[in-house]
Amino acid sequence: MTTRYGYLGPRGTFCEMALQAWLSSPTHLRGVASAGGLEQVPCSSVAQALSALRAGDLDAAMVPIENSVEGGVSATLDALSVGESLVILGEVLVPVTFVIGVRPGVALADVRAVGTHSHAWAQVRGWMDAQLPEAAYVPTLSTAAAAAGLDGSATEVASYQAFVGAPVAASNHGLEVLATDIGDNPGAVTRFVLVARSGRTAPPTGADKTSVVLYQRDDHPGGLLELLEQFATRGVNISRLESRPTGAAMGSYCFTIDFEGHVADERVGETLMGLQRVCAQVRFLGSYPRADGVPTPAPVGTAEADFLRAQRWLAELRRGDF
């Protein structure tokens, strides 16, 4: 049977690059892949991709979750936080390198308007202010869609003369690159995650990450401090924390948190139980291998062996053997 992978299309997006990186890595075999071949399905939005996944029309979807410049991707964080449970099976880091591309023959001086996605536009403001200070901005659905609008085969005439996006989008559409690496942050990286329907978890590798969404029981002072102490007392390190509005009212937040370790680890298990006790709700989004493969050393007293020894000791106490 064919395995269907969704991504944010059209072809030529950074998201497609993430999916291809995933599929070319041996890791993906531990995921949803089956023997029957695979299909890559472009989706119009994160919401649409995850809906298709929940409906069974996809087996997995690659979606952006965080950008080193822009921060968390709201649409993804929110789509994972509500509705039927999904699980993150892995992550891919993609360097974000922007080019400005035009139809062959067009010069920089001819560019009066630039089309791209609003996130990309935000990341090339420095270059634009210096090189094209007069250019208007035309928002598009994606960076690749901006490139497609300049393609000779496009059905409509674009209202812009240049696009900003990935190098592959320029080559896909036969466009000429006027400048490369035009992003304000040369080291910018976007983190993508491969999401599937829940019911499985990636096996522990020793260098894992776990994602959750925490809903506080009430919004009292010091509430976040209490949540963080559940991590600290078990020596679990948080790698990302975002507050997100729950939509209920201004000032009502949930927290999406990534932390080091795997649900199968004792210190992670005990942390999760502690959170579940003190939160109104804990939404588990999965444990999966870190993209960088770097194992995190546990602080003194919080290694797996320390937890197992403490469990044996407690068992001895309870049967009077002390």
For a copy of itself, the closer CB: 82 or 177: 82
Residue 200's alpha-carbon distances to 1, 288, 318, in angstroms, are: 19, 11, 34
Q: Judged by CB under 8 A, does residue 143 bind a copy of itself?
A: no
Name the one residue in this structure whose structure tokens are 């993804």: 76
Instruction: Return the number of other C-beta atoms located less than 10 Å from residue 238's C-beta.
Output: 14
Q: Considering the complex, what minimum distance in angstroms separates the CB of residue 194 from a copy of itself?
A: 16
Q: Judged by CB under 8 A, does residue 318 bind a copy of itself?
A: yes
Instruction: Return the number of other C-beta atoms located less than 10 Å from residue 163's C-beta.
Output: 32
* Binds a copy of itself by CB under 8 A, chosen from 140, 143, 161, 216: 140
d(C-alpha 91, C-alpha 231), whole Å: 22
64-93: which residues touch a copy of itself (CB under 8 A)? 66-71, 74-75, 85, 87, 93
144-163: which residues touch a copy of itself (CB under 8 A)? 156, 159
Q: Judged by CB under 8 A, does residue 247 bind a copy of itself?
A: yes
274 contacts 74 by C-beta, under 8 angstroms: no
Instruction: Return the number of other C-beta atoms located less than 10 Å from residue 86's C-beta.
Output: 23
Q: Judged by CB under 8 A, does residue 276 bind a copy of itself?
A: yes
94 contacts 192 by C-beta, under 8 angstroms: yes
Nearest to 268 by CA among 311, 222, 235, 308: 235
- CA 144, 242, 32, 54 torsion: positive or negative? negative
Residue 91, token pair as written in the block: 């992550």
* Binds a copy of itself by CB under 8 A, chosen from 100, 234, 261, 288: 234
Binding track over 30-59 against a copy of itself, x by CB under 8 A: --------------x--x------------
CA trace torsion 221, 226, 232, 234 (10° rounding): 180
Number of amino acids touching a copy of itself (CB under 8 A): 87
Q: Judged by CB under 8 A, does residue 133 bind a copy of itself?
A: no
* Binds a copy of itself by CB under 8 A, chosen from 21, 52, 189, 207: 189
Residue 182's alpha-carbon distances to 74, 101, 118, 147, in angstroms, are: 25, 11, 15, 16
Name the one residue in this structure whose structure tokens are 């075999």: 29
Stretch that binds a copy of itself, among 5-13, 25-33, 104-112, 188-196 (CB under 8 A): 188-196
208-227: which residues touch a copy of itself (CB under 8 A)? 217, 221-222, 224-225
For a copy of itself, the closer CB: 103 or 240: 240
Q: Judged by CB under 8 A, does residue 264 bind a copy of itself?
A: yes
Q: Judged by CB under 8 A, does residue 14 bind a copy of itself?
A: no
List, in order, residues 6 or more apart from 167 with CB less than 8 Å away: 97, 99, 177, 180
d(C-alpha 301, C-alpha 289), whole Å: 23
Q: Judged by CB under 8 A, does residue 272 bind a copy of itself?
A: yes
Q: Considering the complex, what minimum distance in angstroms separates the CB of residue 214 from a copy of itself?
A: 13
Q: Considering the complex, what minimum distance in angstroms separates the CB of residue 163 from a copy of itself?
A: 14
Q: Judged by CB under 8 A, does residue 198 bind a copy of itself?
A: yes
For a copy of itself, the closer CB: 162 or 196: 196
Q: Judged by CB under 8 A, does residue 240 bind a copy of itself?
A: yes
Q: Which residues pair with 115 in a beta bridge?
A: 138, 163
Q: Considering the complex, what minimum distance in angstroms separates the CB of residue 152 from a copy of itself?
A: 19
Q: Considering the complex, what minimum distance in angstroms separates the CB of residue 104 from a copy of itself?
A: 25
Q: Judged by CB under 8 A, does residue 205 bind a copy of itself?
A: no
List, in order, residues 6 or more apart from 258 with CB less than 8 Å away: 209, 210, 211, 238, 239, 240
